[in-house]
Structure 1
């Protein structure tokens, strides 16, 4: 559409501007380049567009810097002398969805009556493009929302159990292929049932959220943190050997035990952590073996008195 209109009118710029709200829009498409799109516009700087939104009628601005409509933004358009602008509404069911925006080097009578009528006919049909763009955006947002719901734990907003294993499978395959280390930390809160029994599940849920936030803040952006189930958490650490993962686990343990939790009366909350890495001296052939080894380390930490980090599989 925009290329056809630009060819007809010899416009130096021809764009479709989608209206998001009264003072905000974005360039849906421009004939100058396919890269000029999805650029947000502050419509307060485009009085010619806001005038169209108000009137639902075409607006012509000739001699741009000196036109009465442009005085509030005169400094912004001072380089557009000897140019004219034509803005036409794209209307659907009485709603202005967007505008067809043209700028030409022609001075004086920048656009003929014939050109204006032809451009308005084209603008009237452009609402299909606008509606499709909006529909695509809505569908994309809904897909993103559904994807997020499918892979995250609703309470802590960490990744869930299923996504943990999906990502671990991917990272394990990558680790084997490129011969890079990979570590897993399995975490279980100590005596958490006592917290729920004493303070109630609502406080228990708040504590789980706080712990999730603590872990997320301590790990790297490349690490994957998940709620494994109940009061259990898990962390995948790509490109990390056993020593590095053990140190990370110790930092998590110390941070959790030293934190003051909302709703708890000076309770010291502790956790036990099991760490395992690939490659190692144990028989770890797949991601499941790696989790089992980390689980074994976690159980040893529990048996050793809790509030500990145990690492297995030194090479």
Structure 2
């Protein structure tokens, strides 16, 4: 009974769900003419064998001359007609109207044979009908087979005497034809739907494999997964999540729910089915989420739209021995997914995990090539690329952008006095200090030697000045020591600031102006920032409160 219920759910999935029904209807003609010939070949061979038997029977048995000629004629005509149908099948595939005419012709021919054959019987007529119905259902689909049955029964009445419509032989023949048509046609159509569905899944996996193998971009991989789910699975909602480095958060890079895509967002790795899939490193499928809640003690939280799913299917993204995240689909229908859907999702997830792992490794190598090996700041070349990108973004959004040029005062003397190891320590500590005072969207680059540069999007000159002052004070209070443990004085830094768009329209102008102001700060005694607070308040107006103790250090 359980297997029977699964079967009904599968057919319901194909024919009752709107999306699946549409795919199934479209898939009825997905099989190529070559594939349909292959499927119909046993029925055609049986048909040829049947007519060959009639031909041989006419040759060796002692019928009357007329009966013998009828047998020979039917045998030769039947074999010829079947071979002709086999030969011209590609034409039926190209011209759909010919399929209907073939059904009408087959129905009339079988009725004519039933009337004129010397030894007509329900068995021979039914066997021929079964062969033709099978071929029609495979080649042309459901309605061609039903058209054949209707024409055949109608022609039996036309070719025979009108009074025979009430005779038992006619009623039996008609009943057998109708019964055989329904059973054979519906079985064949469902088998074709299953075959088409499996072909569609295999084609999806193949396309994903081909596209994803050449991708080294996370966004492209996620887009391929999205397209494969939309194409092959009847899901109301789906997501793809990537684990954080600490494995305690999952970022839903892709979240779709009933016609709407949601922005990427971080979620704690809780006690839901997605978290279970990640922690247990295996797939989960359920046709009733409430049963799964009781079985696994899930705590289900609604994400996306405020509506609970009833079916859920998910699998982890595993590359090597590392779990990268999870991909899942859900439906508001009960029992919406089957083992075939699970196999498809697992195949897509396997390909996606390998591609994401390659993309992460490639991205790490690329990122490393953009960074200074000692300090971790962006190198000179990449910094300039980022500066151009940020200037274009600021111009498009009509926002400000600050560039700070920063240099360690008397660094060569400091390096010569305390050693290169202490000098390297100062450079590393300086960058760590800077990163503590800037946002993730800000950019730190090593301009060269002991000189660094900052990009601060969406700030005023006064805000940039306050950030620069905090960096200066923090570095002044940092303790440094030589290899033998002796404390050395903290170095000082000088800084120059320039603002887009008020003081420069491109990166070259901003760098040049900030560099000039850096050397102005050095000329004024070093350990300073130029220009002062009054300049920015005059340029932008007084936009923020400044502590009295801080304001004194920012004035001329």
Calculate the TM-score normalised by the size of structure 2. Answer: 0.37
Alignment match of 1:305 (pick from 525, 528, 536): 525
Selected match of 2:238 from 35, 56, 69: 35
- State whether structure 2 residue 460 is matched by structure 1 residue 257: no
Change (3 A) 1:123 1:222: closer
| Distance 1:128-1:182 versus aligned 2 partners, 3 A rule | closer
Give 5+ residue unaligned stretches, structure 1: 11-27, 53-63, 66-70, 77-86, 88-94, 99-103, 107-118
Q: What is the root-mean-square deviation of aligned Cα atoms in Å? A: 5.0
Deviation at 1:174, TM superposition (A): 3.8
Q: CA 1:131 to 1:309, structure 2 compared with 1: closer, same or farther past 3 Å?
A: same
User: What is the match of residue 274 of structure 1?
Assistant: 496
1:278-289 equivalence runs, <5 A: 278-280=500-502, 284-289=504-509
Is structure 2 residue 403 aligned with structure 1 residue 184?
yes
TM-score (normalizing by structure 1): 0.61
- C-alpha distance in 2 between matches for 1:199 and 1:5: 80
Displacement of 1:208 in angstroms is: 1.6
How many residue pairs were aligned?
Answer: 262
Equivalent residues of 2:497, 2:531 under 8 A apart: yes
| Structure 2: gaps (5+ residues) | 1-8, 17-225, 242-251, 253-272, 284-289, 300-312, 314-320, 327-332, 540-556
- Classify 1:298/1:32 alpha carbon distance in 2 versus 1 (closer, same or farther; 3 Å): same
Contact map agreement 1:6 1:31 (CA 8 A) in 2? no
- After superposition, the C-alpha distances for 1:187-236 in whole angstroms (9 at most, x for unaligned) are 00112223433443333222222111111111234322222222111111
Q: Which one scores higher on RCO, CA 8 angstroms, separation ≥ 6? A: 1
- Tell whether the 8 Å contact from 1:45 to 1:73 is kept in structure 2 after alignment: no
1:141-160 alignment runs, 5 A limit: 141-160=360-379
User: Structure 1 residues 280 and 75 mapped into 2: Cα distance closer, same or farther (>3 Å)?
Assistant: closer
Contact 1:187-1:272 at 8 Å conserved across structures = yes
Q: Deviation string for 1:102-131 (max 9, x for gaps)? A: xx989xxxxxxxxxxxx8899888875454
CA distance in 2, matches of 1:195, 1:272: 15
1:245-276 deviation digits (Å, cap 9, x = unpaired): 22322222111111123546131210111112
Which residue of structure 1 lines up, in the alignment, with residue 391 of structure 2? 172
Query: How far apart in 2 are the matches of 1:6 and 1:128?
Result: 24
**Cα distance, 1:182–1:37 mapped onto 2, change above 3 Å:** closer
**Within 2, Cα distance between the matches of 1:165 and 1:227?**
11
* CA spacing shift, 1:254–1:37, aligned 2, 3 Å: closer
Structure 1 or 2, whichever has the larger Rg, is 2
